Structure 1
Amino acid sequence: MPAVDVANADSALRRELYFFTLYRLLEAALLVFVLFGPIDGLVGEPRHDIFARSLSLAYLALAALLFAFGRRGDLQGQALAGIATDLAFGILAIHAVPGAGTGIALMLMFNVGAAALLLRTRYGLGMALVAVLGIIGEFAWTSLVEESEGRRLAEPIMFSIGYLAIATLTSVLGRQMRAAHALAEHRGHETAHLVEVNELIIRRLRTGVLLVDGHNRVRLANEAATLLLGEAGDGQRTLDVALPELAERLAAWREGAIASDAPLQVSPDQPEVVPRFTRLLAGSDQTLVFLDDTSLAARRAESLTLATLGRFSASLAHEIRNPLAAINYAVQLLEESDDIRPADRRLLEIVRQQGSRMNGIIENVLGLARREPAKPEHVELVALARHFIDEYAASHPLEDDSLRATGSEARITAMFDPRQLHQVLTVLVHNALLYGRLPGEPARIQLNVHRDANGTPLVDVLDRGPGIPEQVAQQLFRPFFTTSGHGTGLGLYIARELCRGNQASLDHVPMPGGGSCFRIRMAAGEASRNHPGARPGTAPTARTPGQR
């Protein structure tokens, strides 16, 4: 149970204090009525008439004052001042009006109990003890000093026991009330916090959520639903106006029909959604409408497909390694033969190089499937770009096409796995040769190695083709996306994944003057541009795994 906050618990007892002050005002008014009322001899002749009348008027004035200020100030102070006033005037009234002494003592029992309820335990029991001493003291004074024998000793003793008992009981009740209030307040804060969390979760859900009442008025809509509705829901709080087709499906569902799973096109510029319906509460006319974005479901299916394809690729790559090893071994044996002509020996060299590249691709596919980390090292990019162009031109006849390296500096060092960088460049250059040319003209491909304003190493693969439309550029790096009838759509996806594994990025940069630019942004090797350990990457090259 949470600790009791005294200030908050006291604030919850303000209503009880109000009734306590109202009861006190009733007591004072009743005492005045007894002494000044039209019925003579109602309680007998007062012992001290003037003193009793003055006492009753003074008590009434103080009771009215305490009632007027009962809702202000400190509750503990007001309750303590009130019970002190009650006991002082009550004991004096018992002595001054002996005919009403028993009734006044009985009415004071409520005051003692109310005070113990409102005050702390020690103060409540302390005031009960004061009442006991007062009632016994008054009896002793009357019996010994004034030698009056109107009452017996049993009466003040019984009232004393009653005061202590009622004070103890109401004190326990007061503690329980404060603890219950503290617990309720704590639970209230927790509930409010949970409500805020729930609202945040619902608001940030990628699934659209609408709350629709029985008249098809939209009561609530989270961010995803607002985005999905778009202009259809702009300013329209009625589903019949904003989305008539969705309103028709909701009406059919309410009549007991099975909800259709067919996608719903909200607007031409928004993705299709599949609506699902459920009642907010049993018997309620309010309905929760969930709008599932079909593109999200497609991405989830795509992720599952990629995971399956990754396992398949790893298995396939493993199976290819054995025949590839036999091919490489056979090529080595042929190269050792003296009967091979120079032209054929050049062909054997190309076979050996491409076999090595294929083996490198297999290793990368296995590493990507197994999520093995890359092995970045210091690479001198300018030399690597030139070495890559020489190897690519040797294994891929360019004919009229051109492929050249440019750079603003003689040496630029970066951190990258050279073999994986070779594979990324192969993908980008191969795509540029296929798509980066104008009709009837040769391709002009350029590898530009430079730095940005912050000194970050960059490698740009540029072409002078027709460029890439914005709608296509937004999907370039999605797996299986391709504009070619023969491509797999995995080339750029794998290239970006390889870059990410090397703490680098691969992005398409729009070219205002036409053409395309794919930019690799790398991690710098070190502050010095002439790192002594930097070397051109001469790892085996790789065959293009796919087209964009």
Structure 2
Amino acid sequence: MSNVARPRSLFSVGSAVGGETTRRELYFFNLFRVLQACIYTGLAYSPLAVAWVDLRYPLFARVSSIVYLLFALIAFVQTDLWLRRLTPNVAIALVFDVLAAVFAIASMQEASGGIAILLMFNIGAAALLLPPRLAGALAVFGGIALTVQVLVLRLYDERYDGSLLEPVLFAMAYVASYGLFSVLRKQMRATEALAEQRGTDLANLSQVNEMIIRRMKTGVLVVDDANRIHQMNESAWMLIGSPKPDLRDLGTVAPELSRRLYHWRTTGRTDTKAVALAEDVPEVLPRFTRLSPNEATNVLIFLDDTSLVSRRAEELTLSSLGRLSASIAHEIRNPLAAISYSAQLLAESEELSQADQRMVEIINNHCGRANDVVENILQLSRRERSRPELVDINAWVVNFVDEYKASNDLGQDHLRPVTQPRLVDGLVDPQQLQQVVWNLVQNALRYGRLPAEPARVAVIARLLGEKGPPVVEVVDRGPGIPPKVAAQIFEPFFTTHEYGTGLGLYLARQLCEANQAALEYVPVAGGGSCFRITLVTQITPHAARG
């Protein structure tokens, strides 16, 4: 519908969600590092104001804490750039975290336990962002670094009296923290993947729904309580007169529809009379409903095109009529066969007078005509599905004319094929094409002739234009068809001949449509008629990929 925000791509939602989650995790990781560096710096400089800790190496502690603070600030500022090379950046940052913690513990023995605990959060956060093996290796590195730091101080600093058990326990805690956060990482990634898939499915479903509504033949509008149009599909836009995009007031765009909406809001009743909401547009039947029972503001308006409703009713009527006619034709066929057979036996009698023989001839003629009607109706009701294949139209036309001449005595009439020097291929069911062209040629030979002259009919294979689709044309040089009659010749049961059934051309068009082809009547300049069958051209692999 109009004014609906679309996602950038059918499959862009999931990737956007995943990237934003990683960015948020990295952002808080870097923010925590800044807080951690501030704590180290505050402890390193605290003896200058308040003697919170006893610094073993004051200059080393203050320099290392300032360097770590600058690194933390740079990392925090560069968060978005780090996303481009996430794994190496996070790994290097965690190495800095471990070294900064080791230096701080070595300089501030009284705060060693708290600093080691803070480092546990760095290792856990890195386990959420790094591949499992790398994160585990860095967790082990952190435990080893603490243990080595204690060993070095015990060897080279006589004043150090720290226990080796504490760093070993912290090393075990780091590995356990890595394992816990790795499990949490798997669960989070699985949840994110599910959310991404649901988001993608929802975006796809939203676009499908929007496309369905946009292509609906029924007009759909959403109007609020201020009589302002929020959304509409293409059919509604056309049925209310194709207003400008900035016109959103329903009272201005479609006053009659606005009046009916007000009547429905106040009385709850809908006016069932059809109305044209603008000039040169079909009449519609408006229907109103609220978007939800709990929402009293927005109203959904459906505009049913009465011409479409009439067309559907006509199609249902024709379908029902076809089934009824087929049923009746089946019942007529048996007694008709009995009458025809009896008339043939009677014609063989030698005792019939000339008048009686004439009566038998009339019976046989009308039985044949009635049988043609029955055959057409049954053929219409049991039409088989088309089986299109690639056909050389030039060769097909030549073979058709030869077969028709072999099966029918043309007398003085002329039937000839017209082919092209270039290849003309088309996708069509050859049997159904044979049935259609056979019917058209029979009509042309029967009706497409001038008085006291033989019929001249051509079956032509050619391309429509230089690069157009392939066509098969049946052309005669008769009197042509008046425009008023030509507008109705494809309607069922329409005929201008006293012995016609009115089903031949209708059935021919139905067969063409089953092959995705089109059958139309084209007047011929200088007199005559042309029935053109426009076929589907072959789809090349390149076109299919495009």
Structure 2 unaligned regions, length at least 5: 1-13, 387-395, 420-429, 464-470, 536-546
Name the residue aligned to 1:254: 265
**Which of 521, 532, 535 in structure 2 is aligned with 1:508?**
521
Amino acid at match of 2:211: L
CA distance in 2, matches of 1:99, 1:330: 125
Residue of structure 2 in register with 1:537 after alignment: none
1:179-218 alignment to 2 at 5 Å?
A: 179-218=190-229
Q: Which of 121, 124, 130 is the equivalent residue of 2:132?
A: 121
Residue 105 of structure 1 pairs with residue 105 of structure 2 = no
The change in CA–CA distance for 1:87 and 1:379 in structure 2 (over 3 A counts) is same
Q: Does 1:26 align with 2:10?
A: no
* Range that drifts further, 328-337 or 248-257: 328-337
Aligned partner letter, 2:65: S
**1:477 equivalent among 483, 490, 503:** 490
The match for 2:337 among 325, 332, 342 is: 325
Indicate how the Cα distance of structure 1 residues 453 and 105 shifts in structure 2: closer, same or farther if over 3 A, else same. closer
TM-score normalised by length of structure 2: 0.73
Q: 1:77 aligns with which of 88, 106, 120?
A: 88
Q: How does 1:137-536 map to 2 (within 5 A)?
A: 137-148=148-159, 150-153=161-164, 155-231=166-242, 236-267=247-278, 269-281=280-292, 282-283=294-295, 285-342=297-354, 345-346=357-358, 348-371=360-383, 378=400, 380=402, 447-452=455-460, 454=462, 458-460=473-475, 464=479, 467-469=482-484, 476-479=489-492, 492-494=505-507, 496-497=509-510, 506-510=519-523, 517=529, 519=531, 521=533
Distance in 1 (alpha carbons) for counterparts of 2:247 and 2:511: 47
1:10 positional shift: 6.3
Please report how far the alpha carbon of residue 88 of structure 1 lies from its aligned counterpart in structure 2 after TM superposition: 1.0
Q: CA deviation at 1:164?
A: 3.2
Cα 1:8–1:423 shift into 2, 3 Å: closer
Q: Which has the higher contact order (CA 8 A, sep 6+)?
A: 1
Relative to structure 1, the CA distance from residue 418 to residue 147 in structure 2 (aligned partners, 3 Å threshold; closer, same or farther) is closer
CA contact (8 A) 1:385 1:405 kept: no
Q: How many residues align?
A: 489
Is this contact kept in 2: 1:378–1:416, CA < 8 A?
no
2:202 is paired with a residue of what secondary structure? helix
Scaled by the length of structure 1, the TM-score of the pair is 0.73
Corresponding residue for residue 393 of structure 2: none
356 and 233 in structure 1: CA distance in 2 versus 1, 3 angstrom threshold: farther
1:213-266 Cα deviation digits (max 9, x unpaired): 333333332233233334467864332222222222222333351323332323
Q: Distance in 2 between matches of 1:380 and 1:207?
A: 51
Deviation at 1:419, TM superposition (A): 9.2
Q: 1:246 to 1:84 in 2, by over 3 A?
A: same
Matching residue's letter, 2:521: H
1:301 and 1:189 map into 2 onto residues whose CA distance is: 40
For structure 1, which segment, 494-503 or 28-37, has the greater mean C-alpha deviation from structure 2 after superposition? 494-503
Cα deviation for residue 174 of structure 1 reads 2.7
Supply the distance in 1 between the matched residues of 2:514 and 2:355 (Cα, whole angstroms).
Answer: 40
Question: In 1, Cα distance between the equivalents of 2:228 and 2:496?
Answer: 44
Q: What is the CA-CA distance between 1:283 and the residue it aligns to?
A: 1.0
Q: Indicate how the Cα distance of structure 1 residues 69 and 331 shifts in structure 2: closer, same or farther if over 3 A, else same.
A: closer
Measured in 2, the distance between the counterparts of 1:481 and 1:9 equals: 65
Paired residues of 2:27 and 2:79 also in contact (CA < 8 A):
yes
1:449 deviates by: 0.9
CA distance in structure 1 between the partners assigned to 2:148 and 2:306 by the alignment: 88
RMSD: 4.5
Report the identity percentage: 39
Question: Structure 2 CA distance, aligned partners of 1:385 and 1:288?
Answer: 63
Q: Does 1:134 align with 2:145?
A: yes
> Compared with structure 1, are the counterparts of its residues 48 and 511 closer, same or farther at alpha carbon in structure 2 (3 Å cutoff)?
same
Task: Note closer, same or farther for the CA distance 1:405–1:82 as it changes in structure 2 (3 Å cut).
Answer: same
2:488/2:494 contact within 8 Å kept: yes
The residue identity in structure 2 corresponding to 1:25 is: V
2:154·2:160 contact (CA, 8 Å) conserved in 1? yes
Q: CA deviation at 1:309?
A: 1.8
Q: Distance in 2 between matches of 1:504 and 1:474?
A: 19
1:58 equivalent among 61, 67, 72 = 67
Question: Which structure has the larger Rg over C-alpha atoms?
Answer: 1
Q: Distance in 1 between the 2:271 and 2:495 partners? A: 32
Say whether the 8 Å CA contact 1:424–1:498 is kept in structure 2: no
Matched-pair contact (CA < 8 Å) for 1:509–1:517: yes
Question: Could you tell me how far apart the structure 1 residues matched to 2:165 and 2:417 are?
Answer: 113
Question: Would the alpha carbon gap of residues 101 and 319 (structure 1) be closer, same or farther in structure 2, given more than 3 Å must change?
Answer: closer
Flag the 1:145–1:343 CA change in 2: closer, same or farther, 3 A. same
More divergent stretch after superposition (115-124 vs 155-164): 155-164
Which amino acid is 1:328 matched to? S
